Amino acid sequence: MATVPFSKWLELDLRTAKIIEVHDIEGKDKLYRLELEVGKEKRTLVAGLKDSYSKEELAGKTVVLFSNLEPKKIAGIESQGMLLAATDKLGKPIILTTDKKLESGLKIM
């Protein structure tokens, strides 16, 4: 495994974020459009989570957001960051969440 200098780690901006809305994307079987609260800011993300989570399971969760990732158009929607997730043995994403209730927008160090 390659190592990363500490200075590069400091460039990442990881934040707590609350999923406030989850929407289907027409014609996309694996993707959701997520509306996130990141402190006082709102963000839109596209995430391939349909195989692992229902909309009801995602709504209200506090997740870890890679917030300074360059925006990218996915399914015609500008995705403004990326949720951190692991993959299980079947290759399905499992999102990283917090073990306690935290406000959104907190910097993860």
In whole angstroms, give the CA distance from residue 61 to residue 96.
10
In whole angstroms, give the CA distance from residue 62 to residue 55.
14
- Nearest alpha-carbon partner for 63 in 31, 92, 38, 44: 38
In this predicted structure, what is the pLDDT of residue 103? 96
Of residues 55 and 109, the one with the higher pLDDT is 55
* pLDDT over 90 percentage in the chain: 96
Average pLDDT over residues 75-80: 98
In this predicted structure, what is the pLDDT of residue 53? 97
Backbone phi, psi, residue 86, to 5°: -105, 170
The token pair at 77 is: 């929607």
pLDDT tens-digit series, residues 29-63: 999 999 999 999 999 999 999 999 999 999 999 99
Q: Which domains does the chain have, with CATH numbers?
A: 10-95 (2.40.50.140)
Regarding pTM above 0.75, the answer is yes
